[in-house]
Amino acid sequence: MELFLMAAGTIAMGVLGCVVWFWGSNLVLDSIYPPRGRNAGDNIRRANMIRPWLFVGPAVLFLGVYLVYPVIDSFWRSLHNADGSRFVGAGNYLWALGDDKFRESIWNNLLWLLVVPALSTVFGLLAAQLTDRIRWGNIGKSLIFMPMAISFVGAGVIWKLIYEFRESGETQIGLLNWIVTRLGGEPQIWLTLIPWNNFFLMIVLVWIQTGFAMVILSAALRGIPEETIEAAILDGASPWQLFFKIKVPQIMGSIAVVWTTITIVVLKVFDIVFVMTNGQWGTQVLANLMYDWMFRGSPDYGRGSAIAIVLMIVVTPIMVWNIYNARKEAG
């Protein structure tokens, strides 16, 4: 109850604070530069120069303090030793290059980057194409899209149940091992099965992200002008040709969007590895490795920050590409 009061209080305070700031500051501005009287013209001009900053001020402050400053601070920390007391230059980065776990993480991250966006896009495209053509397609779409709403941790539990292992001869309660034993195979502890366990983790993210890919690509497919499709059919294109030669090239832009967005998700992937294997058995990834260095045992902020900065550097090309596209679109 107390908790609820606090939460309600915070909402009230937050909303009130916003209202007071935006309304009050505008009021103050209008009273300093009243839009009437002898200097009305000048006043309006001056007020209009200041007002945008009242509007964007809080957002800029938040973004600056909570996102821009930490990047700079992390970079600074990455040049220092564990507790930040001594400058070590590129030492942490050199350490990373020689560290087995770091190299394993980079390698695994690359694997994730290849597999997850590719599979999600392919399945998403397949789902979009299939469900767009049938009457119960919308229900189907909803169900494929549903994992989007499930947390990575929840998905971790869901898939661990599927990968559950019982000794050979016992009743298998994990779906995968049940199928395998039914087909005459031996049950496996999938999550410790190097190197395939990486793929069993990736499947979880593919399962979650396919819905996203499907939604974007389905909209793109519908956006293809009817005439081009009709023309292709009249010219005798087979369904396969129609799909791969006419439709796919026209939605390349959307495929790129899906691919880059999922790439970002993949680079940040943390929860799935964290709760399912915690990076053991050769499944470490950068984000989880960083968490290990920052919060486990005796923290090493220098090394942790260096890994974070590596993550940041990998993301940067996509950031630039996004900005470029957004600006191009704005004209």
Partner 1 sequence: MEGMAGKKSSLTWAVHISAFLLVVLWTIPTLGLFVSSFRDRDQISSSGWWASFSASEQTGYARTGTDDDARQVDGLYVIEGSVTEGDQKLSAWGTGAREPGKYQPGETVEIEDGWQLTVSEDGSYRLTSEKPFGMRRGERIFTTTAVPPDFTIGNYHRVLTAEGLGRAFMNTLTVTIPATVIPILIAAFAAYALAWMRFPGRALLTAGVVGLLVVPLQVSLIPLLQMHNAIGIGKGYMGIWLAHTAFGLPLAVYLLRNYMIGLPREVIESARVDGASDFQIFRRIVLPLSFPALASFAIFQFLWVWNDLLVATVFLGNTREQLVMTGVLRELMGSKGGEWEILATSAFISIAVPLIVFFSMQRYLVRGLLAGSVKGG
Stretch of 106-114, 191-199, 212-220, 228-236 contacting partner 1, by CB under 8 A: 212-220
Q: What does the angle CA 314 – CA 317 – CA 322 come to, to the nearest 5 degrees?
A: 130
**Minimum CB–partner distance for residue 148 and partner 1 (Å):** 7
Instruction: Say how far apart CA 162 and CA 156 lie, in whole Å.
Output: 10
Q: Out of 82, 137, 243, 250, which residue is the one contacting partner 1 (CB under 8 A)?
A: 137
Considering only residues 247, 290, 303, 306, which one is a binding residue for partner 1 as defined by CB under 8 A? 290
Q: Does the protein bind partner 1 through residue 193 (CB under 8 A)?
A: no
46 within 8 A of 33, measured Cβ to Cβ:
yes
DSSP codes of every residue in 200-252: HHHHHHHHHHHHHHHHHHHHHHHTS-HHHHHHHHHTT--HHHIIIIIIHHHTH
Q: Which residue, 94 or 122, has its beta carbon nearer to partner 1?
A: 122
Q: Which residues of the chain form beta strands (DSSP E)?
A: none
Q: What span, in angstroms and rounded, lies between the C-alpha atoms of 141 and 213?
A: 11
Q: How far apart are CA 287 and CA 59, in angstroms?
A: 27
Determine contact, residues 117/262, Cβ cutoff 8 Å.
yes
Site for partner 1 in 87-116 (CB under 8 A): none
Binding mask 3-22 for partner 1 (x = CB under 8 A): xx-xx--xx--xx--xx--x
Binding partner 1 (rule: CB under 8 A), the pick from 33, 102, 190, 291 is 291
Q: Can residue 124 be called a binding residue for partner 1 (CB under 8 A)? A: no
How far apart CA 28 and CA 190 sit, in angstroms, is 65
Interacting residues with partner 1 between 26 and 65 (CB under 8 A): 26, 30, 35, 48-49, 51-53, 55-56, 58-60, 62-63, 65
Question: Would you state the structure tokens that stand for residue 54, as one six-digit string?
Answer: 């009242």
CB of 224 to partner 1, least distance (A): 15
Do residues 138 and 204 lie in contact, with contact meaning Cβ atoms separated by under 8 Å?
A: no
Closest approach of partner 1 to the CB of residue 228, in Å:
18
Of positions 102, 112, 145, 200, contacts partner 1 by CB under 8 A: 145
Least distance CB 107 / partner 1 (angstroms): 19
